[in-house]
Amino acid sequence: MSAAYCNVALPVPLRTTFTYAVPEALRGQVSPGSRVLAPFRKKSLVGVVVEMVETPPDDAKIREISKVLDLVPALTPKLIELGHWIVGYYLAPIGEVFRAMLPPVTDLSLRREIVLSEAGRNLVADFQAGKALTDLSVQQVDFLQKLSEKKGPMLLGSSAKLGIAPEDLQRLQRRGFLEIRESMQGRKRKTQRIVAWKGSEDSSAQLGEKEERVRSLLTTERGPLPLAKLLKLAEVSRAVVERMLRDGWLESWEEAIDPAEDPFDSGYIPPAHSLNEAQERAFAAVRSRFELGEFGVLLLHGVTGSGKTEVYLRSVQEALARGKTALVLVPEIALTLWIGRQCRAWFGAHFEGVAVLHSALSDVERAREWWRVRNGQARVVVGTRSAIFAPVENLGLIIVDEEQENSYKQEETPRYHGRDVAIVRAKLESAAALLGSATPSLETYHHAVNGKYELLRIATRVENRLLASVEIVDLRQDFAHTFQTSPISKALHEGIAECLEFHTQALVLINRRGYSWSVLCRSCGASVQCVNCSISMTHHKSRNRLECHYCGSIQPVPKTCPKCDSKYVYFFGEGSEHLEERLRKEFPGGRIARLDRDTARTKQQYQETLGAFAGGALDILVGTQMLAKGHDFQRVTLVGVVSADSSLSLPDFRAAERTFQLLTQVAGRAGRGELPGRVLIQTFYPEHYAIQDAVHQDYLSFYERELTFRRLMGYPPFSSLANVIVRDKNLENAIRWSRRLSEYFSPHDGKGVRVLGPASAPLARLKKEHRYQFLLKSPKRSLLTKLLSGALSFCGGNEIPQTAVLVDMDPLSLL
């Protein structure tokens, strides 16, 4: 007898599951991991069953689930276990955790087809030839026979119609006699309409509530979106969007649904390298780990250009050869295309395929890839952060490339770290986790040094290519000689001129986008701040307006000071847009392009610019951090870093680590081909160890010095941190609640946990919300978790809304 009740995690920001009754007709179809449609308040929500319950709860008004979405539960038991771990560790609302793990619910009618497999066909043939089949029931064999007689595919429908019980069907599927495939129904269009925010010159006009939702989605929350998706997310009618298009707030264009940069470029032939000695040694260590067949973490610390990708690919191959599956996580979407393509070329033909999962896929594409994985058709998954939840079974290997990248941390609820979840998942599934980096995070390297992880090292580039030579440009001296305030020093100018002369390429990195990142009044000293956030507005010259980089609000460019009406308004702090303009002036003959979030608003634009640079159609590429990661450009001989200091001066204990990593990564972009590379780092603090060690590309030296600092200060890895933000649009509420919460914290302060705060958060106001902050620090994580879960129950009992308190465990940023 199957259970009559189930606990469902619903996508609401509450820290609880909800119990529903399972109606008679649906019993036997529901099990942990099934997605169900459940009534909640006045809506129906898609949730996931996390537990079956035998005894009815006391509540008399218990409601019934109305529909079961999956025949095969969407989540595997291991994924449910992983979800519970995330809930406990990150203290995240359970429904939001499970929502992050589920495939998108697509509007398109998915057609599920039941097809006989090779094994199924053989079995029917045997049966017809008179062989006895002892271990299958009559119903099961009947069904297989019926299936073999059918001309087209059989659609998955109610079990009464099919003439087989769901359990029997599942059993046949599990034993490989039949497959359940999903196919998209009709409506297969080649292009879709993309809508983007354009703003208008007259930005003083007030936006209505609906228009505001559209604006916010198209700017800070998502960026340009397909029309259908926009309508759904913003919950507005088509008429609203059409009016906004007419009024010049929006722009729109047609884009191919599967753009040209199809990750599965079938003609691609990967370069065949036999592993060199160092790669071979690293790979051998992975192989022995597989031989043990148990959980373990390996850290592959290989300098940039040491051929780590090759080691990854062999390791995946090895996992597949042992009948296992593999997950490959990369820090950004562009790299999923690149590594996905290589995986496809290696494994696509032999093994049912490779799936690619990332957030720039449409819901339909993502659902298709997700179910290919769930159905066992794809055994290699390449993706960004959330691909860690890919429903692979029989997992043998998880690779986390560039494990130190911040993009693995999700900065919205649930605030998990993809790398850390990867390690926990590997442990749950007795798999190996292979972390790779040229600049491992301090925490990871610390574990490797302590023997918790196995350390594999590749100290040289492939074919003994040299690392780029790195030089410092001391901006104080440069100024003393030239008396110029241009962000392009004499040395950098000469370096670029040389590249142009010898037809090689240059990358120029700057950390801010926009034209000027601060607007000040010289008379009264006021700076122009965002109306919603305590942040300076950034001037965007080509769009002729000021923008907030946190909430996306815009303002007209002031001609006079908004406070005192003085006309001495001063723009300062040069961003990427300004730098591009300067470079064009200084190098009129150069072919120059800029790559940042403003110029690469869609993946197509991004690919186009990178493609043009890789193909030699450009000489100079200027841009933000986007340039630093992963790319393998062969003709780059010069990398210039305009200001290494901007990231050093942030109020953040990870500032030095970030600066070192960024400089080392970007230096790794130079000299990857036959030509040697040169890196120029402009700085006002050449003595800082983060800069010195980056110049010598000496990871170990940096690690030692930074570790000493962390030990002294009691920062991770010597302690665990949690950041707690109390926020509300109403200032009094934010103050009252943080005071009340501090009444809970203060008696515990000092008993194994240090509690700092409440203090105004560095970003005191963000998206119209006032923010107060507590910083919790403890050498023992379990104490921290205990105190925080106590705090959350305290909030419940003291009328502090759950949504007003945000917990960030292991925060990467303390803003």
CB of 131 to ligand ADP, least distance (A): 52
Please answer whether residues 779 and 718 qualify as being in contact, where contact means their C-beta atoms are separated by less than 8 angstroms: yes
Give the C-alpha separation, 407 to 661, whole Å.
Answer: 14
CB of 221 to Zn ion, least distance (A): 13
CB of 639 to ligand ADP, least distance (A): 14
Of 592, 605, 591, nearest in space to 334 by CA = 605
Give the C-alpha separation, 722 to 777, whole Å.
Answer: 7
Tokens coding 319: 């996992």
Using the minimum distance from each CB to Zn ion, give the nearer residue, 566 or 798: 566
Residue 305 binds: one of ligand ADP, Zn ion, none (C-beta under 5 to 8 A by kind): ligand ADP
Using the minimum distance from each CB to ligand ADP, give the nearer residue, 1 or 269: 269
Whether the upstream peptide bond of residue 758 has omega within 30° of 0, thus cis, is yes
Among 145, 159, 252, 276, binds ligand ADP (CB under 6 A): 276
Please answer whether residues 384 and 333 qualify as being in contact, where contact means their C-beta atoms are separated by less than 8 angstroms: yes
Residue 524 binds: one of ligand ADP, Zn ion, none (C-beta under 5 to 8 A by kind): Zn ion
Residue 462 binds: one of Zn ion, ligand ADP, none (C-beta under 5 to 8 A by kind): ligand ADP
Please answer whether residues 680 and 471 qualify as being in contact, where contact means their C-beta atoms are separated by less than 8 angstroms: yes
Using the minimum distance from each CB to Zn ion, give the nearer residue, 458 or 533: 533
Give the C-alpha separation, 510 to 574, whole Å.
Answer: 9
Of 745, 769, 741, 773, nearest in space to 760 by CA = 773
Residue 349 binds: one of Zn ion, ligand ADP, none (C-beta under 5 to 8 A by kind): none
Told to check if 340 binds ligand ADP by CB under 6 A, we report: no
- First and final CA of the chain: distance in angstroms? 53
String of DSSP letters for 141-157:
HHHHHHHHH-SSPEEP-
CB of 534 to ligand ADP, least distance (A): 39
| Segment contacting Zn ion by CB under 5 A, of 89-97, 510-518, 560-568, 613-621 | 560-568
Please answer whether residues 417 and 347 qualify as being in contact, where contact means their C-beta atoms are separated by less than 8 angstroms: no
CB of 677 to ligand ADP, least distance (A): 13
CB of 279 to ligand ADP, least distance (A): 6
Told to check if 361 binds Zn ion by CB under 5 A, we report: no
Residue 282 binds: one of Zn ion, ligand ADP, none (C-beta under 5 to 8 A by kind): none
Using the minimum distance from each CB to Zn ion, give the nearer residue, 470 or 561: 561
Told to check if 564 binds Zn ion by CB under 5 A, we report: yes
CB of 465 to ligand ADP, least distance (A): 8
Residue 243 binds: one of ligand ADP, Zn ion, none (C-beta under 5 to 8 A by kind): none
Told to check if 665 binds ligand ADP by CB under 6 A, we report: no
Give the C-alpha separation, 320 to 254, whole Å.
Answer: 40
Give residues with Cβ within 8 angstroms of 197, minimum separation 6. 214, 215, 218, 219, 224, 249, 250, 251, 552
Cβ of 401: how many Cβ atoms within 10 Å? Answer: 22
Using alpha carbons only, give the angle 46, 47, 52 rounded to the nearest 5 degrees: 140
CB of 697 to ligand ADP, least distance (A): 13
Using the minimum distance from each CB to ligand ADP, give the nearer residue, 279 or 683: 279
Q: Per CB under 6 A, which of residues 207..236 are in contact with ligand ADP? A: none
| Segment contacting ligand ADP by CB under 6 A, of 144-152, 267-275, 326-334, 476-484 | 267-275
- The residue count for binding Zn ion (CB under 5 A) is 15
Of 75, 76, 67, nearest in space to 38 by CA = 67
Q: Per CB under 6 A, which of residues 629..648 are in contact with ligand ADP? A: 632
Using the minimum distance from each CB to Zn ion, give the nearer residue, 216 or 719: 216
CB of 526 to Zn ion, least distance (A): 5
| Segment contacting Zn ion by CB under 5 A, of 206-214, 318-326, 449-457, 564-572 | 564-572
Beta strands 354-357 and 380-383: pairing type?
A: parallel
Using the minimum distance from each CB to Zn ion, give the nearer residue, 135 or 412: 412
Which string of b and e fits 475-503 if b means at least 16 CB within 10 Å?
A: beebeeeeeeeebbbebbbebbeebbeee
CB of 401 to ligand ADP, least distance (A): 8
Q: Which residue has the tokens 């970007």?
A: 666
Interface characters, 583-622, with ligand ADP (x: CB under 6 A): ----------------------------------------
Interface characters, 297-336, with ligand ADP (x: CB under 6 A): -----x-xxxxxxx--------------------------
Give the C-alpha separation, 338 to 630, whole Å.
Answer: 10
Residues pairing with 528 in the sheet: none
CB of 307 to ligand ADP, least distance (A): 3
Give the C-alpha separation, 105 to 103, whole Å.
Answer: 6
For residue 422, the one-letter residue type is A
Give residues with Cβ within 8 angstroms of 375, minimum separation 6. 72, 179, 180, 181, 182
Question: H/E element holding 473?
Answer: strand 469-474
Using the minimum distance from each CB to Zn ion, give the nearer residue, 286 or 763: 763
Give the C-alpha separation, 189 to 184, whole Å.
Answer: 11
Strands (E), 603-677: 620-623, 636-641
CB of 214 to Zn ion, least distance (A): 17
Give the C-alpha separation, 805 to 209, whole Å.
Answer: 25
Residue 533 binds: one of Zn ion, ligand ADP, none (C-beta under 5 to 8 A by kind): Zn ion
| Segment contacting ligand ADP by CB under 6 A, of 224-232, 274-282, 325-333, 686-694 | 274-282
Give the C-alpha separation, 604 to 196, whole Å.
Answer: 14
Told to check if 563 binds Zn ion by CB under 5 A, we report: yes
Using alpha carbons only, give the angle 661, 664, 666 rounded to the nearest 5 degrees: 105
Residue 304 binds: one of ligand ADP, Zn ion, none (C-beta under 5 to 8 A by kind): ligand ADP
Using the minimum distance from each CB to ligand ADP, give the nearer residue, 273 or 522: 273
- The residue count for binding ligand ADP (CB under 6 A) is 16
What single DSSP character describes residue 710? H
Told to check if 463 binds ligand ADP by CB under 6 A, we report: yes
Residue 307 binds: one of ligand ADP, Zn ion, none (C-beta under 5 to 8 A by kind): ligand ADP
Using the minimum distance from each CB to ligand ADP, give the nearer residue, 279 or 536: 279
Interface characters, 519-548, with Zn ion (x: CB under 5 A): --x-xx-x---x-xx--------------x
Among 29, 216, 279, 738, binds ligand ADP (CB under 6 A): 279
Told to check if 806 binds ligand ADP by CB under 6 A, we report: no
Please answer whether residues 13 and 93 qualify as being in contact, where contact means their C-beta atoms are separated by less than 8 angstroms: yes
Please answer whether residues 687 and 645 qualify as being in contact, where contact means their C-beta atoms are separated by less than 8 angstroms: no
Give the C-alpha separation, 607 to 599, whole Å.
Answer: 11
R_g of the chain computed on alpha carbons: 28
The residues that touch Zn ion, with contacts defined as CB under 5 A, are: 521, 523-524, 526, 530, 532-533, 548, 550-551, 553, 561, 563-564, 566
The residues that touch ligand ADP, with contacts defined as CB under 6 A, are: 271, 273, 275-276, 279, 302, 304-310, 462-463, 632
